[in-house]
Structure 1
Amino acid sequence: MTDAREEPAESFSPFAISVLRAADRRLRFCDRGDVMTRYAACRAAMCALTQLDTFYIGHYIGPTTLSIPYCVDHKQFLSADVQQFGPNGLSEYIRSTGRTYRYDQDAGRRARMGWNSDEHPVLDVLVVPLRHPETDEVTGMMAIENSVADTYDDETARAMEWLGRALVWEMTQDRTFADDLGLYELYPELDSTRPRDETELLRTITGELERLRLALHSVELPDDPRLAAQRTALDDARASGERLHLRLADALQTAHVEQTTPRASTAGLTSRELEIAMLIAVDGLTNRQLAARLFISEKTVKVHVGNVLRKLGISQRSAIPYVIGEIHPPANLKE
């Protein structure tokens, strides 16, 4: 692939620009080390830009091994996998040439070697290399496949190449940040990306799911009949996220949380629960207003408020401002 800095960049369509800008925001504001949400952001962008049956990301482990931590095939999330590849296949082509692969280069010969099936024939493929932003070394690939021929045009290829660069850049910043500061070499137990127990793991998963669900709600597809399938898939994803979030919230509600002094700390609250507690304490928002402000359902708000009351050791919603005021003095509530 030719470095985009060596030739004038072609402009994207207004729709592609809006999709890529949204993806850029999601990639930038993910938590440090949150690679799965970043992978999901790339997939969501490509789903908005084009039709695809399969999306996957792979990383090279040595000269003949590819780790695939993220793969969605026909709306099914597949387990992470590690595969060996030979000298003539698609993985080796990307690793050795560092060039984008398109189906019409060889009538899909390389693509059919490892990923085609009789049930879901692959008739169009687009694969872009993932490069280290400083060394330019090819470290992996991002790929999409479709059972409809001639789906992916030049703009789709350029958009995915840009996404690949943006993804690797943000992942590199994560590693550079941790390595440069050496924060966790002496005290690995302080690394907040590693849950300490089952309850903390549930909180982490709930927070990640909430961010993903909010990202799905922020996606707006044009009222175009050609995007009917994408709109249906987006609605299904939103509904699934809502159901999963409620199940995890229920699991958190029944989990054992030790609180020696319930009124002395909000440490037991998740970030979303603390946000809701603050909005109630400072702005006095109702459940309906909270749902509108946070883009979640009133049912989800009720679950969060119930968790806040239980963890603060109170039974009345009206007591939240007083408890929060004791822990976070009024002068700080508006900050």
Structure 2
Amino acid sequence: MVLVSAGSARPNVSPSVAIVLYEAFKKMSGSLVGNHYALYDYARVVMTKIAPVDAFYVGLIHAGTRVRFPYNYDGARHDDSDVHTIGRDGLTAWLLANKRTYRFDFDHGFLLNGGIGFGDVHKRSADAVTVPLLSRTLDGSEVFGMMSMQSYEPGVYSGEAVAAFEWIAEVIGRVLAREQEDRDALGVLNSGTGDALGDDFLTSDQMVEYLVEQIGAVRRRAEQVLDDAGMTVDRARGVLADVTTDCLRIQAELVEMTLLVDDRPTLRFNTLTPAEQTIAVLLADGLSNQAISEQLRPTSINTVKTHLKNIAGKYGMSTRAEIAADVVKHLGLVH
């Protein structure tokens, strides 16, 4: 993806709100760069200075088929990170198609409340604004995620609050896009060097190393409480609060690390027709053409061969082993 810079129009907000946004910009484009959990949490806090925010989430699209949620907040409680498949008629599909802000009063919350809930699932939001995160490309723009603020009170999000939220989302989008540009630049270095610089996709070894390092740091914080006989209750609470924040940050970072996993097997699999996908999965299970034909009766063996030829053409691969290995990678990413 080639990203191009895009200027920001001044949001239609009052001078007092503009001051809040100016201070937010300095922090989000400065000290918070690289710490995505803190970036998302700060964006929520900024919006609470402008409008009521009972619930808040950030979602990032993965391989065009799933949304990973590194940040979920509801009523002073941070919910666990999660992942969901994109539905054909849900809010994410609407954002992908329209590339513009969704407001609760567009459809009285039909799209919003028709999705999978988070936090306190017994409460329904009475007002909400969900803004797409856009990357600017040479061909226009592309939705790579979304950010949503919600309230249990109706009619709380004025035009000014929406404009401010859209501006905050644009800043976050640019911060994340710049990080992607840096990764793309390293990828350019890797092209033409073979394996000399390694793959620019995340490996399982790198994820394990990250987990070992981060969990070790959290463990050492907890040991402060256990090893200090003179630890007061207030100091212990402070350490535990830090441990909780660290855990939330690690959860968010792990979710986003999965976005760096090689998703090309999934993208290839999604180019297949439903019939081809079925045969590709059976091929990955190690079945012969005859066995696939028998399992898919009355599909003939010649039809199976035709489908396999089409699959090989779409994958750009010549052997059954290559295709099977690629499908296995896709199934591993899905599950």
- Mapped pair 1:129 → 2:101: no
**C-alpha distance in 2 between matches for 1:67 and 1:199:** 21
| Structure 1 residue 63 displacement after superposition | 3.9
Aligned residue runs from structure 1 range 137-176, under 5 A: 137-176=142-181
1:86 corresponds in structure 2 to 87
Mean Cα displacement is larger for which, 82-91 or 47-56?
82-91
Mean Cα displacement is larger for which, 65-74 or 172-181?
172-181
* 1:240–1:19 CA distance, 2 compared to 1 (3 A): farther
* 1:26–1:136 CA distance, 2 compared to 1 (3 A): same
User: Secondary structure of 1:137's match?
Assistant: strand
CA RMSD of aligned residues (A): 3.7
User: Secondary structure of 2:68's match?
Assistant: strand
**C-alpha distance in 1 between matches for 2:83 and 2:73:** 15
Aligned residue runs from structure 1 range 185-334, under 5 A: 185=197, 198=213, 202=217, 242-244=238-240
- Mapped pair 1:47 → 2:52: no
Code of the residue aligned with 1:14 in structure 2: it is P
For the 8 Å contact 1:30–1:38, the answer to whether it is kept is: no
Where does the alignment leave 5 or more consecutive residues of structure 1 unmatched? 207-238, 249-335
For the 8 Å contact 2:12–2:163, the answer to whether it is kept is: no
Code of the residue aligned with 1:33 in structure 2: it is G
Q: What per-residue deviation string (whole Å, max 9, x for no partner) do you get for residues 70-105 of structure 1?
A: 111111111111112322221111111111111111
Paired residues, number: 209
**C-alpha distance in 1 between matches for 2:40 and 2:69:** 11
- Mapped pair 1:65 → 2:70: no
For the 8 Å contact 1:52–1:146, the answer to whether it is kept is: yes
User: Secondary structure of 2:34's match?
Assistant: coil
| Structure 1 residue 69 displacement after superposition | 1.1
Report the TM-score when normalising by structure 1. 0.53
Aligned residue runs from structure 1 range 87-106, under 5 A: 87-106=88-107
Q: What per-residue deviation string (whole Å, max 9, x for no partner) do you get for residues 148-167 of structure 1?
A: 00010111111111111110
* 1:198–1:161 CA distance, 2 compared to 1 (3 A): same
| Structure 1 residue 242 displacement after superposition | 4.7
Code of the residue aligned with 2:169 in structure 1: it is G
For the 8 Å contact 2:67–2:85, the answer to whether it is kept is: yes
Instruction: Provide the identity percentage.
Output: 25
| Structure 1 residue 37 displacement after superposition | 1.6
For the 8 Å contact 1:50–1:152, the answer to whether it is kept is: yes
**C-alpha distance in 1 between matches for 2:30 and 2:149:** 24
**C-alpha distance in 2 between matches for 1:173 and 1:42:** 18
Report the TM-score when normalising by structure 2. 0.53
For the 8 Å contact 1:94–1:129, the answer to whether it is kept is: yes
| Structure 1 residue 200 displacement after superposition | 9.3
For the 8 Å contact 1:89–1:113, the answer to whether it is kept is: yes
**C-alpha distance in 1 between matches for 2:237 and 2:21:** 23
1:19 corresponds in structure 2 to 20
